[in-house]
Amino acid sequence: MPAVDLFSSMIRLGPDGDARAEERRMSPDLDGWTVVTLHVDSDADAHPESWECHPDGEEVMCVLTGTVRVHFRSETDPRDPDGEPAARLGPGTACVIPRGRWHRITVEEPSDIMAFSRIAGTRMERRTGW
């Protein structure tokens, strides 16, 4: 078995229990679960202008190194730029982002992040004021 560079590839998990490495692509038509690892140096690497939502499943975001904050858009006022209190994630911690919940991250220090999610149907929405 060859080693897989998780920073340039992704792992697709199939419904029948198979797992395969593929070229990374963030296409909303991907079915099943994906495992993606990325490095972020600053907010600019984390699409700060947009909220993201995965309607087809929860997302598990794990921080391997560094520190990030996961921000959740207010469920009562989607125009609220700050949303609800952020979850601070450091090395070895994770956050389960509920299905259909708008979220984004900010970077406190350069970080390596691993995310498990169902990309199919993922939506992006520009933040107010950007």
CATH number for position 17 = 2.60.120.10
Residue 1 within any structural domain of the chain: no
| Residue 62: predicted pLDDT | 99
Residue 79 within any structural domain of the chain: yes
Q: Residue with structure tokens 């509920």? A: 98
Query: Which two structure tokens, joined as six digits, stand for 41?
Result: 């140096």
Residue 2 within any structural domain of the chain: no
| Residue 65: predicted pLDDT | 99
Give the rounded percent of residues in the chain with a pLDDT score beyond 70.
93
Q: Considering Cα of 85, then 102, then 104, then 30, what sign does the dihedral take?
A: positive
The closest of 19, 11, 61 to 40, measured between CA atoms, is 61
Total count of domains within the chain: 1
The closest of 59, 62, 44, 41 to 102, measured between CA atoms, is 59
Residue 26 within any structural domain of the chain: yes
What is the amino acid identity at position 50?
A: S
Residue 87 within any structural domain of the chain: yes
Neighbours of 69 (CB within 10 A): 15
Q: Domain range for residue 105?
A: 9-126
Residue 30 within any structural domain of the chain: yes
